[in-house]
Each structure stands twice: as C-alpha cells, then as structure tokens.
C-alpha cells in the first residue's frame, strides 16, 4: 500500500475529510460510521443536512453491514456492475446514522470502479460517505484541481487519480419498492439494468424528489447557459459578437468562424466521450467571463438520457 493511501485512511479514521477520485466524479469522503465526521461534509459543501449521502464500500460483502432485507436483485446488479457507476438504494440497518441517510429508512451504497478509491476503501476497511466534491449546486469535479478550486482548505487531503473515466455521476436505482426504479439516470442505462433484472426499471419521474440531484437547481455553472440546436448555435455566436462579448461554445465540430471572442470547445460526438469531458469544459468556460455558454443539443436517444438530464438541470439552475 502506498504511503499516500495509508495517510488518507488514517485521516478518515481520525474523522477528517478526504477527497478521492472515482470513475464517475471526485467524492468528498468521511467515515460513514462517524456522524461528527459526516457533519463536516455538509459544512464543507454548504449542503442542506437532510440530503442523504452515498456510502462507498470496498466490496459487495460489506452490503449487509449497511443494508437489511437485501433483495436478490441487489446481488444480481452488484455482480453485473460493481465495481462501477451504479448506486443501490436499500433498506438501512438500524444503526446507520441519520447524518448519512438524511433521516430516511434507506441507504445508498456503491462500490466505485477506480483503483485508488478501492485501495482507499480496502485500507480504511469500512464505509466512506461521499457526495460529489463540489460546493452545493455547482458542477461536479472530474479532476483533482477542480476539487482544490471548489473546496480549498475545507478538505484535509485530495487524492489525485487523474481525470475521471466516466465523467458524470452514477446511476441511482431504488430497490426498496415493489418495482425497481431509477432515481437518477447515469451511464448504466435502463436497458442495461433491464437485461439483468429481467424487466425494465421504472423511472423516478413520478416520485417525490428524494435525491438532491433531482432538484432543478443542480449541476449549474454561474454563466448563463443555453442548449441550442445545431442550426441556431451560430446565431447565438453572432449575437455575442454584436454585443462585443466573449461567448463559450461546446459542440461536436470545429468552429466555423475565426474570432478571438469565440471560445469554442470541440467535444466528442459519442455519448461516452461527451460525458467524459462535459463537466470539465463547463467549468473551464464558466471561468472566462462569457456572455453565455452555448452547448449544442445532443441527440435524444436512450444512450444520451443521463447527459441530457444533467444539461437540462444545468440550464434550469440558472434560469430559475
Ligand atoms: O457517482 C456518484 O454517485 C458520485 C461519486 C462520488 O460516487 N457521488 C454523488 O454523490 O454523486 P451526490 O451526493 O452528489 O449525489 C448522491 C445522490 C443524491 O442525489 C442523494 O440524494 C442520493 O444520491 N441518495 C443517497 N442516498 C439516498 C437514499 N437513501 N435515498 C434516495 N436518494 C439517495
Ligand atoms: Mg452531487
């Protein structure tokens, strides 16, 4: 084990916060069994304390320390997708603290698919409660530098595992009801889950929004953001130039105009590549004092569902 991992695990044992990479986004971790440590997460993020956190565990064999009445579907999904970008909502064990669950009788659990995260969890030997390591309502961090920019000294240590492979937050599926339900779409899709479950999960659309990610104000940059169809992107660019302002554009093609006020970032045209880069690009363009940021509307097919979900919320967050 590296000295760095040992130090991070020791800090967690002492009740300190450690930010760490996962395959989705960076997490802000605390010992899930220590309510005082978990309280520090809410203070650092500026997040309301009734919002539940995901408990990250080193392996499926830790499930019953946190959850009870675990259905077979949980083990089937864990076998298929863990370590990986899937969070399971299960009935909680009675001793799981309200600080973690937001006072609900359920708990969110996941085994992250990143080597550093797994090393840390194994060295620590317990559950690590971790939301995304951004301030409440901001874009999730996908690189260690983003965490430093967001949280500065509020965190004792940031483990640097490079850029996150997936780039958007895990799929959350609720297994506590009669039918499994997706509460937050992610890169593991309803169809992927349905293959293992034998039937498609429901979507959370009709549900009370228990996940803060389902509040419209989330994932937002500060600069006004617009999602525009390909044929109107150029009109937004012309409008900014007419106002002599800088404009940021994220689109899957090269910039058709040459003007230093246009900050054009070409993004991948496939959903995997797009998810990988979108948060870092939004963050970069948000720091440049643009009149607005324009993202060319991605395809609406099932593969793009989670990406469209995050973009729609980012737009709503600043227009509300
Ligand atoms: O990919 C991810 O899930 C990342 C990495 C760090 O693991 N984490 C993440 O955490 O996105 P956070 O706190 O930003 O979002 C976790 C979501 C929240 O929307 C929270 O409400 C939901 O999980 N959640 C956690 N426990 C829950 C529960 N018991 N019932 C319903 N939703 C729950
Ligand atoms: Mg978050």
Tens digits of residue pLDDT in 273-306: 999 999 999 999 999 999 999 999 999 999 999 9
Quote the ligand 2 centre to 273 CA distance (angstroms).
21
Best probe residue, ligand 1, of 90, 213, 275 (max atoms within 8 Å of C-beta): 213
Q: Is the CB of residue 128 below 6 angstroms from any atom belonging to ligand 1?
A: no
Residue 65 to residues 13, 96, 172, 285, Cα–Cα distance (Å): 18, 9, 20, 43
In ligand 1, which atom is closest to the CA atom of 132? 14
- What ligand has the least distance to the C-alpha of 215? 1
Surface-to-core class of residue 243, CB atoms within 10 Å of its CB (0-12 exposed, 13-18 middle, 19+ buried): exposed
Taking residues 52-61, what's their average pLDDT? 98
pLDDT reading at 134 higher than 50: yes
Domain ranges of the chain: 3-203, 225-319
- Atom 13 in ligand 1: which residue has the minimum CA distance? 131
How far apart are alpha carbons 170 and 87 in whole angstroms?
Answer: 6
How far apart are alpha carbons 210 and 287 in whole angstroms?
Answer: 31
**In CATH, 3-203 is 3.90.870.10:** yes
Query: For the whole model, what pTM was predicted?
Result: 0.94
Q: Given 3.40.50.11030, 3.40.350.10, 3.40.50.880, 1.10.150.120, which CATH number is that of 225-319?
A: 3.40.50.11030
Quote the ligand 1 centre to 166 CA distance (angstroms).
16
Mean pLDDT score of the chain, rounded to an integer?
93
Quote the ligand 2 centre to 144 CA distance (angstroms).
15
Query: Is 278 in contact with 167 (CB distance < 8 Å)?
Result: yes
- What ligand has the least distance to the C-alpha of 27? 1
């Amino acid at each position: 084990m590296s000295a760095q991992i040992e130090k991070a695990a020791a800090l967690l044992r002492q009740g300190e916060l450690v930010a760490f990479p996962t395959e989705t986004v960076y997490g802000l971790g605390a010992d899930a069994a220590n309510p005082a440590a978990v309280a520090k997460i809410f203070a650092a993020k500026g997040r309301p304390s009734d919002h539940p956190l995901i408990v990250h565990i080193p392996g499926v064999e830790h499930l019953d320390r946190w959850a009870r009445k675990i259905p077979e579907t949980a083990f089937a999904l864990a076998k298929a997708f863990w370590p990986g970008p899937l969070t399971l909502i299960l009935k909680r064990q009675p001793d799981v603290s309200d600080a973690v669950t937001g006072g609900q009788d359920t708990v969110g659990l996941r085994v992250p698919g990143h080597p550093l995260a797994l090393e840390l969890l194994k060295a620590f030997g317990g559950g690590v409660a971790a939301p995304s390591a951004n301030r409440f309502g901001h874009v999730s961090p996908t690189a260690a530098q983003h965490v430093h920019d967001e949280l500065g000294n509020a965190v004792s240590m940031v483990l640097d595992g490079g850029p996150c492979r997936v780039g958007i937050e895990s799929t959350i599926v609720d297994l506590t009801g009669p039918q499994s339900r997706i509460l937050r779409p992610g890169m593991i899709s309803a169809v992927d889950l349905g293959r293992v479950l034998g039937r498609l999960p429901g979507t959370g659309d009709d549900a009370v929004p228990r996940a803060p990610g389902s509040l419209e104000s989330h994932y937002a940059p500060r600069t006004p953001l617009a999602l525009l169809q390909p044929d109107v992107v150029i009109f937004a660019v012309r409008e900014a130039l007419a106002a002599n302002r800088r404009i940021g554009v994220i689109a899957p093609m090269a910039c058709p105009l040459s003007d230093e006020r246009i900050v054009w970032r070409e993004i991948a045209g496939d959903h995997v590549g797009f998810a990988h880069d979108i948060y870092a690009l939004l963050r970069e363009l948000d720091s440049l004092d643009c009149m607005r940021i324009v993202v060319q509307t991605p395809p609406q097919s099932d593969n793009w569902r989670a990406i469209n979900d995050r973009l729609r919320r980012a737009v709503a967050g600043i227009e509300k």
